[in-house]
Amino acid sequence: MSDQFDVVVIGGGPAGYPAAIRAAQNKLSVACIDEWQNRDGSHAFGGTCLNAGCIPSKALLESSELVHRAQHEFKAHGISVGTVEVDIAGMQKRKAAIVRQSTQGILALFKSAGVTPLQGHGRLLPGLKVEFTAHDGAKRTLQAKHVILASGSQPMELKSAPFDGRHVVDSWGALDFDAVPKRLGVIGAGVIGLELGSVWRRLGAEVVVLEALPDFLPMADGQVSKEALRHFRKLGLDIRLGAKVTGASVAGGEVTVAYTDAKGEQPVVVDRLVVAIGRRPYTRDLLAEGTGVALDERGFVQVDEHCRTGAKGVWAVGDCVRGPMLAHKGKEEGVAVADAIAGLYAEVNYKVIPSVIYSAPEIAWVGLTEEQVKASGRAYKVGSFPFAASGRARAMEATAGFCKVVAAVDNDEILGVHIIGPMAGEMIAEAVLAMEYSASSEDLQRTIHAHPTLSEALHEAALAADKRAIDCLNK
């Protein structure tokens, strides 16, 4: 096997493996190194996303939502199912099969594209060399013309509530519970905390979510955040804002969490505690001395707007660099870098990266919030359409939420789209496409949407921005 490649990618997650495949599609010789190890000692490509994040969490979210619908919605459809029994072992088995299919699929894609997969640890050396250490300890030095760093991220640990792997766990641990905890605590009301809290609440756990910030989902549009908080609490999540955790102790199979809020010191006792306060770049032993690649004060690999590091021929993409830690952001960066290396046009439009929370109702947005546009001083208009007025949503018994379009007054450019409701994560793609091509709200108004569909809500929201909505009152 040759130890010389045009491109060596360190990291086989959602940023690294697409970079490797695209580089191979561009007729370059490519090796992709990944060191992921599962709890059973097996190894797999796909990083956190496929093994312990996006994919397994969505599998459990789907299963738990079906349970919730069977318990609370089927009757409205005229369907009687009797007692709904939850088989956690069966759910976990299904989740594991989906993960295995996804990760094995990467190897099949590599084989088809001609990428050399290497399972083990990659370390960048000076002179565009990469030290590869296999899981059995064997070492090789690879010579590359270009190196792409895609080492990903890992959960942040709270000093006052350190992980113990059983009672106090990270997001991966929370996906592997073998039974529904009677009382579940979640530290952090971000995307991960809310999704995991939703899963176990639907399956029967009493869930308390402790969020240090005084505002709920501050990164989302204010109107959406307010609506989301109402629905999460309706689901039964006990969300406590302004709650700063000061400590956690385990005794007798219980976790006592101490936190402070406006009322002072407060305790809460749970059976399991999930710490979901965010993620940090994973760069352990990634860089040898003298590579010319620098890390910033938060541990991210420093790159320019085109993902180039300070070392010629070395690039970095995904969670280990600045920007939102989103799998699709990393994928686009990886593909763009692979194209740039091949001398092709490559660009990532960071202004139109969508965000999605896979709750029920789903939450999705792209672009600027109304608050951000208002703060900029630019004159704007807003159109909103409730799913309660959507025939398709009513047929689905999914009328919660709304679509919202924020557009500029001067040239009608769409500045932001915010959706809370059924299939929001799918619907946001239309908004992303529109904004990628600098569409106006009139462009959306003139786009024919099939009836009856959920996407009509976005059409009507665009019409409402000019007080021309057909299926709801224009306010």
Which residues participate in catalysis according to the annotation? 451
The set of residues, in sequence order, having a beta carbon less than 8 Å from that of 41 and lying 6+ positions away, is none
- Tokens 């959602």 correspond to 14
Order of strands across the sheet that contains 183-187 = 168-169, 272-275, 183-187, 206-211, 238-241
For the chain, the maximum distance between any two Cα atoms, rounded to a whole number of angstroms, is 69
Whole-number Å distance between alpha carbons of 54 and 390 = 29
The set of residues, in sequence order, having a beta carbon less than 8 Å from that of 407 and lying 6+ positions away, is 380, 381, 382, 383, 413, 414, 415, 440, 441, 462, 465
**Burial classification of residue 237, based on how many CB atoms lie within 10 Å of its CB (0-12 exposed, 13-18 middle, 19 or more buried):** buried
**Residue among 191, 189, 190, 161 nearest 270 (CA):** 161
HSE value, Cβ hemisphere, 13 Å, CA-based, for 384: 14
Q: What angle do CA 448, 451, 453 make, to 5 degrees?
A: 100
Give the number of other CB atoms < 10 A from CB of residue 422.
Answer: 23
- Tokens 């890992």 correspond to 154
Assess contact for 336 and 342: CB atoms under 8 A: no
Instruction: Specify the amino acid at residue 416.
Output: G
Assess contact for 277 and 158: CB atoms under 8 A: yes
Whole-number Å distance between alpha carbons of 225 and 213 = 13
CB burial string 111-125: b at 16+ within 10 A, e below: eeeebbbbbbbbbbb
